[in-house]
Structure 1
Amino acid sequence: MGGGEMGFVRAGLASLPHLLCFSLSTAALLFHAVAGARVRVIPAIYVFGDSTADVGNNNYLSGTAAKANFPHNGVDFPAKRPTGRFSNGYNGVDFLAINMGFRRSPPPFLSIASKINHHIMRGITGVNFASGGSGILDSTGNSMSMTKQIQYFATIRSNITTHLSIVLADYVLSKSLFIISTGGNDMFGYFSQNNVQNTTKMQQFIDTLISTYKHHLVSLYDMGARKFGIIDVPPIGCCPFPRSLNPTGGCIDVLNGLALSFNKAAKTLMHELSSTLKEMKYSIGSSYQIVSNIISNPNALGFKETVSACCGGGKFNGESACTPNAACCSERSRYLFWDMLHPTHAASKLAGAAIYGGSLQFASPLNFKQLVEEDD
């Protein structure tokens, strides 16, 4: 680097406090303009993952059956409209966003990819890249893989740097939250292809998942992510669909075992990364613990049905998807599962509250509130 370039860098760094002061003042005004009376604690949220976090990206994808942009989905969403969320209303990411002062999850990337959104281009609000059916591995799911989602984020980051400068963009991104909710589809795929369970082979599969997950996390870190909100894999063997495959109607223990193994390895991975990557901080929200608690103590938590889905068909309403012609329960707020694989609005609301402000049982090594409000 030549002397002139080095001088430019020094000058840029010297003026950083002034730039940051201006940026934060401007951001505060924009937050009030966008969020009204809500008080935002971070500039933006960036969401990656599968159908547990998808808010409509799959509406724009061809060649995938993983869609939810039709009734009965959205029956409890504002204006009772289906949005592409696999829920009767909001999903867990929506509630996390609400707790952080946002209206709900940021918009799906594919809905704004060809539009100019000045808030997003200035690192405000954020974007949701999650896609139903996707997984950690590129071989899982559809064309909007985790790798593709991160590539899409790179385009957003490029636009932000164009509008704010690289130094300011990195600062804003370092204060934003990167939420990742994925892994279950990889496990369903593995389970469907391996009828005879082999402990060694299962461990190799988990090792591959964790290695690939690490690559994704480091890629985001290299593009400016510093605060990671990880949602672990729930007890997927207890969803209505797996139960419908079990002659006893019970949970499929192999699937839950895969989830537990992955969650344990992911916890170790996050600790190691935060120890080696400068300024990286994280919280792991345990959907596994939350769902397990609801199943164990339904009445105490306001639920009455934790086996069958509210909407669907066949055994436990878990053999076929929630479609306009499917049976749909009337007490939606008393059901844990909305459809064959996904939680209801009520369950997601409980999960969002527990992960955002709950105890170490539900979010560790600190909860999401502590993560986003923590000073560097």
Structure 2
Amino acid sequence: MALVPVLLLALFFSLSVIGNAQPKVPAIYVFGDSTADVGNNNYLPGAGKVNFLPYGIDFPDSIPTGRWTNGYNFVDFFARQMGFQMSPPPYLSLPNNTSQVGVNYASGGSGILDSTGNHTLTMTKQIKYFAATNKSNIVLSKCIFLISAGANDIIALLAKNTASSITQPEQFYNNLISNYTKQIEALYNLGARKFGIVDVGPIGCTPGARLLFNHSGACFDAVNVLVRVVNDDVKVMLSNLSSTLKGMKYSLGSAYAAVSNMIANPEAAGFKDVTSGCCGGSSVECTPTTIYCKNRTEYLFWDAIHPTQRAYEEAVLDIYSGSPPFVTPINFKQLVEDA
């Protein structure tokens, strides 16, 4: 993807903030994987990219920005709830690597573990870039630090094993949580105080997992068991950190609960298909030549792994102003408005 379209989007974002009501926080800083990436992978040689149509088909002017969906992702909808018209631009698109309204460091394919995701910005790299960024006069303690990570670490584990024959799972869980703890502590030491964390969704229910692990087409719960253990460990980790790090506040949004609810009650969200991907169904990748559905608002999944824009919007509605099981111990709205 050319640099110019991304810079135009960044300019639009800045102008829209000026012309809009005052945002509820000074800035948003985003970290994580493809669920949060808004185009960083476009600038990384060798990294997976989605800078081509039909990705972005429902983005304004049908621009394939590098978001791993048909339009906006959940970061964009969170930003709107916080008073911004658009979410922060990708870090690698900014000429001087700074932005007055926040920066997005997320990278598709990345993980909490440094061993996850070749050619991507791992969480460790993302935080290093943030540490080196000139953050101007922004008061970081009032900003929101949004993180969505962990799915690729589980997928990488499965790639080396099968869900039923994983060796030393406790070692995996311990390493993952240890790394995640250090990363949040690093951000805290750099000035972060308000953390909006999104857990891992039900990977076993994605179209790709249904096909790969369960030929009957049902969710493969053995994978979801791994996800639930990780999510439970993250919940305990955040509770422990908040009791030891003075002034730390957090909201843990459950992508797992939100997506599972949509799968169990599709009609409530207006979905007609919650098992296959709009682009490519479940058996093939979404490429420039792949046939994709026309009724995209009726699909939960865009491709074999990622949700549609519509699904992201529904999940954010559950998390931002919601209550358990969608978000604990406070919702994102309370986190944002807490002085």
TM-score range, shorter chain: over 0.9
Q: Normalising by structure 1, what TM-score? A: 0.83
Q: Which residue does 2:337 correspond to in 1?
A: 373
The 5-angstrom pairing of residues 98-247 of structure 1 reads 98-112=80-94, 114-115=95-96, 120=99, 124-143=100-119, 144-156=121-133, 159-160=134-135, 163-164=136-137, 172-195=139-162, 197-198=164-165, 201-245=168-212, 246-247=214-215
Deviation at 1:254, TM superposition (A): 2.1
Q: Which residue does 2:5 correspond to in 1?
A: none
Q: AA paired with 1:75?
A: I
Tell me how far apart the structure 2 counterparts of residues 83 and 155 of structure 1 sit (CA, whole Å): 25
Structure 2 contact 262–269 (Cα < 8 Å) conserved: yes
1:302 maps to which of 265, 270, 295: 270
Structure 1 contact 40–101 (Cα < 8 Å) conserved: yes
Q: Which residue does 1:78 correspond to in 2?
A: 60
| Partner secondary structure for residue 145 of structure 2 | strand
1:280 maps to which of 248, 257, 278: 248
Tell me how far apart the structure 1 counterparts of residues 18 and 311 of structure 2 sit (CA, whole Å): 25
Deviation at 1:97, TM superposition (A): 0.4
CA 1:208–1:301: 2 relative to 1, 3 Å: same
Deviation at 1:198, TM superposition (A): 5.0
Tell me how far apart the structure 2 counterparts of residues 50 and 33 of structure 1 sit (CA, whole Å): 26
Deviation at 1:203, TM superposition (A): 2.3
Q: Which residue does 2:6 correspond to in 1?
A: none
Q: CA RMSD in A?
A: 1.6
Tell me how far apart the structure 2 counterparts of residues 37 and 277 of structure 1 sit (CA, whole Å): 35
Q: AA paired with 1:108?
A: P
Structure 2 contact 279–303 (Cα < 8 Å) conserved: yes
Computing the radius of gyration over CA atoms, which structure comes out larger, 1 or 2? 1
Q: AA paired with 2:96?
A: K
Q: AA paired with 1:37?
A: N
Q: Which residue does 2:303 correspond to in 1?
A: 339
Per-residue Cα deviation, 1:177-235 (whole angstroms, up to 9, x for no partner):
00010101100110111137357722221111111100111010010000000000000
Tell me how far apart the structure 2 counterparts of residues 200 and 321 of structure 1 sit (CA, whole Å): 30
Q: Which residue does 1:25 correspond to in 2?
A: none
> Identity over the aligned pairs, expressed in percent?
54
Q: AA paired with 2:312?
A: S
Size of the aligned set, in residue pairs, is 324
Is 2:29 the partner of 1:49?
no
Deviation at 1:335, TM superposition (A): 0.3
Deviates more, 1:351-360 or 1:210-219: 351-360
Structure 2 contact 110–116 (Cα < 8 Å) conserved: yes
Tell me how far apart the structure 2 counterparts of residues 34 and 92 of structure 1 sit (CA, whole Å): 19
CA 1:116–1:364: 2 relative to 1, 3 Å: closer
Deviation at 1:364, TM superposition (A): 0.7
Is 2:232 the partner of 1:264?
yes
Deviation at 1:256, TM superposition (A): 0.6
Tell me how far apart the structure 2 counterparts of residues 200 and 240 of structure 1 sit (CA, whole Å): 26
Deviation at 1:275, TM superposition (A): 0.2
1:356 maps to which of 317, 320, 326: 320
Q: AA paired with 1:175?
A: K
Per-residue Cα deviation, 1:299-344 (whole angstroms, up to 9, x for no partner):
12111100000002xxxx2232211110100110010000111000
Q: AA paired with 1:47?
A: V
* Consecutive aligned runs of 4 or more in structure 1 exceeding 2 Å deviation: 31-35, 114-117, 195-200
Deviation at 1:115, TM superposition (A): 3.0
Q: AA paired with 2:50?
A: A
| Partner secondary structure for residue 311 of structure 1 | coil
Deviates more, 1:190-199 or 1:94-103: 190-199
Is 2:79 the partner of 1:97?
yes
Structure 2 contact 254–325 (Cα < 8 Å) conserved: yes
Q: Where does structure 2 lack aligned partners over 5 or more consecutive residues?
A: 1-13
Tell me how far apart the structure 2 counterparts of residues 32 and 335 of structure 1 sit (CA, whole Å): 33
1:62 maps to which of 45, 48, 73: 45
Deviation at 1:347, TM superposition (A): 0.5
